[in-house]
């Protein structure tokens, strides 16, 4: 069986390393990015084709993998790709959008004989680079089986969650927990600073106990050195949290507090900082006591 030809749409912080892993696996045929210069630079480095027209990319791909910022971006890029669709193409979307958006696109694309999989990802930029992402997939299971070589090139764990929208619903739950953990780590580390504890030993001992977490282990050193450019942007987390809140309006108090905190970060000009910048807010609160 010949290898699948994959086109990647979106070469941002997560999309670019995923595309590199697909290229390393010999699956990547072309890329498209809103900023064409970025696609051209990637193409020169990897030997794949840079497409200014996403429909041209779609016309040459068995599988299209997208990683864009928001629901409207996904709608727009799919609409622009329609002219190039081939029957039987699989569209894998790794963005974080509303479950209802995934469900609507899945139904819509069936009219073009395109299988749509919502396949949001978790694991951070580090996981995208290492090809060790966790992928939560909703949609047709047979389509997933066909697309598995693609997902196995970007992720370590690929889990089928059920019907269309199930992947995005699972990602919403992931983001609720990420926001809570990030807030707890930020508040705890800021308190440790104020109490003048030996911070490296604080992190070491906590990582050996029940409060251990990926976020604490990976982000504590950068938070304590005021480095906030490594992970998931605060403005994107704010977008995701609004998706979470919309699933059960008024019933998720942790999400409500997280929305308030990330709104404060964005309004203070820190929207491009990664979510560990929450420690800025914790430090301010503690300074007032």
- Report the CATH number at residue 194: 1.10.1040.10
Q: Which of 107, 141, 163 is the last residue of a domain?
A: 163
- pLDDT at residue 1, as a whole number: 44
- pLDDT at residue 60, as a whole number: 96
Which listed residue (171, 239, 248, 284) is catalytic?
171
- pLDDT at residue 271, as a whole number: 98
- pLDDT at residue 78, as a whole number: 98
The residues of the chain scoring below 50 in pLDDT are 1
User: Which residues, at least 6 apart from 76, have a Cβ–Cβ distance to it below 8 Å?
Assistant: none
Count structural domains, the chain: 2
Does residue 171 have an active-site annotation? Answer: yes
The answer to whether residue 1 sits within a structural domain is: no
- pLDDT at residue 40, as a whole number: 98
User: Checking DSSP bridges between strand 133-138 and strand 121-122, what pairing results, if any?
Assistant: antiparallel
Verify that 159 and 173 share a domain, yes or no: no
* Domain membership of residue 55 as a residue range: 6-163
- Rounded mean pLDDT of the chain? 97
Q: What are the backbone angles phi and psi of residue 148, rounded to the nearest 5°?
A: -55, -40
- Report the CATH number at residue 55: 3.40.50.720
- Of 126, 112, 90, whose CA–CA distance to 18 is shortest? 126
Q: In this predicted model, what pLDDT tens digit does every residue of 16-66 receive, in sequence order?
A: 999 999 999 999 999 999 999 999 999 999 999 999 999 999 999 999 999
- pLDDT at residue 2, as a whole number: 67
Verify that 274 and 192 share a domain, yes or no: yes
């Amino acid at each position: 069986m010949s290898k699948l030809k994959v086109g990647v749409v979106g070469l941002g912080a997560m999309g670019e390393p995923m595309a590199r892993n697909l290229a390393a696996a010999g699956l990547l045929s072309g890329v498209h990015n809103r900023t064409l210069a970025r696609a051209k630079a990637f193409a020169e480095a990897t030997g794949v084709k840079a497409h200014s027209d996403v429909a041209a990319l779609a016309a040459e791909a068995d599988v299209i993998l997208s990683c864009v910022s928001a629901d409207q971006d996904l709608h727009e890029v799919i609409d622009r790709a329609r002219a190039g669709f081939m029957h039987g193409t699989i569209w894998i979307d790794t963005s974080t959008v509303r479950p209802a958006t995934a469900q609507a696109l899945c139904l819509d694309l069936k009219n073009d004989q395109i299988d749509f999989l919502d396949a949001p990802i978790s694991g951070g930029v580090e996981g995208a680079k290492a090809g060790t992402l966790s992928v939560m997939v909703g949609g047709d299971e047979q389509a997933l089986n066909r697309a598995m070589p693609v997902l196995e090139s970007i992720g370590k764990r690929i889990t089928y969650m059920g019907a269309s929208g199930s992947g995005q619903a699972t990602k919403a739950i992931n983001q609720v927990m990420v926001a809570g953990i990030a807030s707890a780590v930020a508040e705890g580390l800021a308190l440790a600073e104020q109490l003048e504890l030996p911070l490296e030993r604080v992190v070491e001992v906590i990582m050996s106990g029940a409060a251990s977490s990926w976020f604490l282990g990976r982000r504590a050193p950068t938070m304590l050195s005021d480095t906030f450019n490594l992970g998931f942007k605060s403005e994107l987390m704010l977008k995701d949290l609004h998706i979470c809140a919309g699933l059960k309006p008024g019933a998720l108090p942790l999400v409500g507090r997280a929305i308030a905190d990330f709104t404060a970060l964005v309004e203070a000009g820190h929207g491009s900082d990664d979510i560990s910048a929450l420690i800025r807010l914790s430090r301010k609160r503690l300074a007032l006591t």
